[in-house]
Amino acid sequence: MSGPVLAWSRLRPTPALQVSAAAVLLAFGVGALLIAALGVPVGDAVAAFADGAWGSSYALAASINRALVLMLVGLGFILAERANLTNVGGEGQIAVGGITATALALWPPVAQLPWGLAFIVPMLGACAAGAFWGGIAGVLRVKMGTNEVIATLLLSFIAIWMVYGSVQSEHLLRRPMTSSATLPESLEIPVATQLPLLTGDAGTPLHVGLLIGVVLAVAVALLLNRTVTGLQLRATGLNPRAARRAGMPIDRLAIGALCAAGAFGGLAGAFMLQGEQYTLKAGFSSGYGFDGLVVGLLARGSATGVVAGSLLFGFLRSGGINLEMVAQVPTALVVVIQGLIIVTLAGAAIGIQRMEARRK
Amino acid sequence: MRERHAIGLGDGISDGGPGFAATPAAAPLLKLEGLSKRFGALQALQDVSLALHPGEVHCLLGENGAGKSTLCNLVFGVHAADAGEMTLAGGAFRPRSPADALSHGIAMVHQHFSLVPDMTVLDNLLLGQVRGVLDRKAGAARIAAMRERYGLALDPHAKVQDLSVGERQRVEIVKCLVREPRLLVLDEPTAVLLPQEIEALLSVCTRVAQQGCGVVLVTHKLAEIQRVARRATVLRGGRVVARSDAPAQDIDALVRAMIQRDLQAPAAAPVRASRASRPAPGSPTREAALLADGLTVRDVDGVVRLDNFTLVVEPGEILAIAGVEGNGQSELGAVLSGMLRPTEGRYFVCGEDMTRATPRQLSAAGCGVVPEDRHALACVTGMNVAENIMLDRLDRFRRFGLLDRAAMRREALDLMQRYDVRAASPDVPFGGLSGGNQQKAVLARELTLEGLRFLLAAQPTRGLDVGAVEAVYGHIRAAADRGVGVLLISSELDELLSVADRVLVLYRGRVMGTCPTAGADRARIGAWMAGHRDKEDVAKEVAP
């Protein structure tokens, strides 16, 4: 009897999806009102936003690249979240990933490597560095009982300042000072170490990271929902003592989950450096780690949710930049809209939970 | 199926039954009419009608998952009914919260206590009941009055953490009674008590009822019904299946109504059926299933919880650890399940030293564990039934790196049928199962451990109804008959004596005595449990 009912409910958009969409629209609506209140014609603002977000092939590619970075951090977040660990250290993991990728890419032998290893090696190095950074928090958590929220957050600050430090000194990554005007940043990494463009056209800067990201998103979804490890992570998160009693290596799972989250952050750093910026400078991440954290939080454990959320926030960031440049609307407003989306989505989540509870 | 009123209806009033003050013809205090409650797929209650009278003890009977707790929670305002009416003293009654129910004169003692261990009895009593200035003197006077009225003796200045479980429960009851409730609901209050404590609790129930208060006693224990119940109602599958106005006489019919099973369900193996056919314990060819050698556990405060504990469990033997709870049983269980390292001593499973083994190594060595605290250690309530049954063997369902859910589900379903785990499907959340079914699922997992040689079963029947208890022991017995050595820790002496081969009594972490269960002297065991050693033992010690 329940068969057809079940199938029917599967075909229909879930109330969760409808409510989420409504929440996003509501946030945009409020944003439009605010823009109008600033005296900017809403039509102009919307046009500028759309132009910046997806108006040209360049804008579209830039938005997708931004989304990609957010997605990686978000995927890492939900991975650790499955083991009941909250990784707020995405920003730091991006930073150590960026530093490592820069260092490896600028090391002459690497650029000489054949078969694409020239860009793969810095990427893998960035993953390892991020995993190490996340792993520190994991080990602290398991061995000393340090709360991973605090550990990952504080490690982020260390990493952010490590970027600053490494581009201040010529002994580290700063480009040779030829004049007093030489900026505190690294040299541009060699072309061989840059992520190859998918279109072969710099006007549409989509790079191979997109393919890697898609593969990883599918892999994370499979890992969480369709593998033994996913179940073990879940058991560890829900009831660590029962998981241990059932013979699961809960310490290794916890450290592993934070390492994996860190590796995703590190890879995000590599994508930003090798796929977009090509030089390392202070503040090179500018908050992607924290935005990615928000994406992960809003996704509530679903890889699909991470993909959707990162696309939303990626386009929002791109559109917002243009909004400021063209329509003279302060980017602060984009941050406000972003905040509104977070609040309305979180509120919607609670509403959906209540709805489900009432149906029971 | 309609409610059956057959039992006891019109039997008249038995004056020979336990003493009661009120006349049965009095208007009901609380009337429940057609209550229904649904949790997801589970219809917890269906069209339940019930009348509770002032001055009477009303026993609510039923197996685990029959809906007794749900019914109590509706009355106490924890949940709201989906359908049906409640009438309290003639007026409509719809409690929105426990606080609301309390203000209407309904008090409830839950299975789990809500006391602050670090505070005194008096302060616990004053908690939440005082506005403005604390008046400890008046509070102490009220405690004294409780002793006067109901025989509930309590030291107001004792710290709750120093009290026994029975005394703590008394604090909970006094907390309710000082509010002068019209109706007192006790949810399985005797599950945690010693025999003499149960006796005391039952007389309190009677006295409370004599003062004109209605009492609802949720229980599975038949002796209690006989002793105090003025009326009884049996729930099964969320429906009222029997009621009686003379439960003391209808006891057989009530039990039948309570545990009546579907015919296709596998019957529990008869306990002790094949005892004679098992190899003689201690046959020299076989190594002891468990050998504990001088196990000692000191807790963080340095208190000795387990003191130089030594025992041998032979293959095929069921050795029971008896004793009042808190005398080292929990520590013993924790050590033998790999969750706690002993301070001193070693233990061997089939000759292998497992003292420093992890739970995983223990499982690999064939040690099954049914832990005392099911929710903390044996299951993940947020995961589904299949996942929980396969929790320790998930690796078996790896196929091409992915999880073979279909195979997992299939095997879980098979185990659910073999062990009579009743759930809508293997995919429902484990937390939604009743306690008895959860325990059967845990047992299914532990008893099907590959190469099982030793089973530790700690309080395996706590909170389970008669039918489930029988099933659990049937499975344990069957395992022993296959040659598994079983260490059974329980505080239910009757159960121990009927299922085990040998009983050993723990008192303050030490072995007080051990004897075969066949022809066991209960008085002697009782004395051991209370810390009295046999005279000859003492004599031996004094004059070596």
Determine the topology of domain B275-379+449-542 in CATH.
Rossmann fold (3.40.50)
A238 touches chain B (CB under 8 A): yes
Name which of B42, B380, B388, B400 to mutate to probe chain A: the one with the most chain A Cβ atoms within 10 A of its Cβ. Answer: B380
Residues A338 and A216 in one domain: no
Residues of A in contact with B359 (CB under 8 A): 244-247
C-beta separation of B332 from B457 below 8 A: no
C-beta separation of B214 from B56 below 8 A: yes
Residues A235 and A335 in one domain: no
Residues of B in contact with A232 (CB under 8 A): 394
Confidence category of residue A108, pLDDT binned at 50, 70, 90? confident
Summarize pLDDT for B330-362 with one digit per residue, the tens: 889 989 988 889 999 999 998 888 888 888 888
Number of structural domains found in chain A: 2
Average pLDDT over residues A307-334: 84
Residue-range domain boundaries for chain B: 1-10+22-105+181-260, 116-180, 275-379+449-542
Q: Which chain A residue lies closest to B339 (C-alpha atoms)?
A: A245
- The minimal CB distance from B403 to the residues A231, A242, A248 is found for A231
Q: How far apart are CA B508 and CA B325, in angstroms?
A: 10
Rg for chain A, CA atoms, rounded: 22
We report the CATH number of the domain holding residue A160 as 1.10.3470
Q: Which residues pair with B291 in a beta bridge?
A: B312, B348
Residues of B in contact with A248 (CB under 8 A): 360
Residues A109 and A223 in one domain: yes
Tell me the range of A211-225, B141-155, B387-401 where mean pLDDT is highest.
Answer: A211-225
pLDDT number for residue A9: 43
pLDDT number for residue A267: 95
- ipTM of the complex, rounded to two decimals: 0.77
Q: When comparing pLDDT for A333 and B479, which is higher?
A: B479
Residues A335 and A305 in one domain: no
Q: What letter would DSSP give residue A197? A: B
Task: Identify whether A3 is part of a domain.
Answer: no
Summarize pLDDT for B153-200 with one digit per residue, the tens: 888 888 888 787 778 888 888 888 888 888 999 888 876 676 677 788
Residues A27 and A99 in one domain: no
Q: In this complex, do A239 and B380 lie within 8 Å of one another by their Cβ atoms?
A: yes
- The minimal CB distance from A246 to the residues B364, B392, B401 is found for B392
- What's the token pair of residue B389? 């049954």
Three-state DSSP at A83 gives coil
A240 touches chain B (CB under 8 A): no
Average pLDDT over residues A226-248: 90
Tell me which amino acid residue B504 is.
L
Average pLDDT over residues A10-32: 74
Residues A336 and A323 in one domain: no
Q: In this complex, do A245 and B402 lie within 8 Å of one another by their Cβ atoms?
A: no
> Does the pLDDT at position B268 exceed 60?
no
- The minimal CB distance from A235 to the residues B377, B391, B401 is found for B391
CA atoms within 13 A on the CB side of B426: 18
Q: How far apart are CA B191 and CA B198, in angstroms?
A: 9
Residue A145 exposed, middle or buried by CB count within 10 Å (0-12, 13-18, 19+): exposed
A247 touches chain B (CB under 8 A): yes
User: Residue B102: left (phi > 0), alpha (psi -120 to 50), or beta?
Assistant: alpha
Q: In this complex, do B394 and A360 lie within 8 Å of one another by their Cβ atoms?
A: no
Q: Which chain B residue lies closest to A239 (C-alpha atoms)?
A: B380
Q: When comparing pLDDT for B530 and B243, which is higher?
A: B243
Average pLDDT over residues A252-258: 94
Q: What letter would DSSP give residue A273? A: I
Maximum alpha-carbon separation in chain B: 74
pLDDT, chain A, mean: 85
A239 touches chain B (CB under 8 A): yes
Q: Which chain A residue lies closest to B43 (C-alpha atoms)?
A: A360
Rg for chain B, CA atoms, rounded: 25
Q: How far apart are CA A330 and CA A324, in angstroms?
A: 5
Residues A274 and A352 in one domain: no
pLDDT number for residue A268: 95
pLDDT number for residue B194: 67
Please tell me the distance in Å from A148's CA to the nearest CA on chain B: 23
- What's the token pair of residue A136? 């520190």
C-beta separation of A60 from A205 below 8 A: no
Q: How far apart are CA B5 and CA A219, in angstroms?
A: 60
Residues A224 and A268 in one domain: yes
CA-based nearest residue to B23, from B217, B250, B230, B249: B230
Range of the domain at A338: 16-38+330-360
Residues of A in contact with B334 (CB under 8 A): none
Q: In this complex, do B394 and A231 lie within 8 Å of one another by their Cβ atoms?
A: yes
Task: Identify whether A11 is part of a domain.
Answer: no
> Does the pLDDT at position A356 exceed 60?
yes
Q: In this complex, do B360 and A243 lie within 8 Å of one another by their Cβ atoms?
A: no
CATH of domain B1-10+22-105+181-260: 3.40.50.300
Q: In this complex, do A241 and B376 lie within 8 Å of one another by their Cβ atoms?
A: yes
C-beta separation of B79 from B154 below 8 A: no
Q: In this complex, do A228 and B394 lie within 8 Å of one another by their Cβ atoms?
A: yes
Q: Which element (helix H / strand E) includes B399?
A: strand B398-399
Residues of B in contact with A246 (CB under 8 A): 359, 363, 391-392
Q: Which element (helix H / strand E) includes B344?
A: strand B344-349
pLDDT number for residue A207: 87
Residues A301 and A344 in one domain: no
Residues A153 and A175 in one domain: yes
Three-state DSSP at B380 gives coil
Q: In this complex, do A245 and B395 lie within 8 Å of one another by their Cβ atoms?
A: no
CA-based nearest residue to B82, from A355, A350, A354, A358: A358
Q: How far apart are CA A100 and CA A133, in angstroms?
A: 12
Task: Identify whether A6 is part of a domain.
Answer: no
- The minimal CB distance from A235 to the residues B40, B383, B405 is found for B383
Three-state DSSP at B140 gives helix
Q: How far apart are CA B298 and CA B341, in angstroms?
A: 10
Residue B38, number of CB atoms within 10 A of its CB = 17
A231 touches chain B (CB under 8 A): yes
Q: When comparing pLDDT for A309 and B133, which is higher?
A: A309
Q: In this complex, do A244 and B391 lie within 8 Å of one another by their Cβ atoms?
A: no
User: Residue B318: left (phi > 0), alpha (psi -120 to 50), or beta?
Assistant: beta
> Does the pLDDT at position A285 exceed 60?
yes
- Residue A128 main-chain phi, psi, to 5 deg: -60, -45
- The minimal CB distance from B395 to the residues A228, A230, A238 is found for A228
Residues A271 and A319 in one domain: yes
Residues A24 and A75 in one domain: no
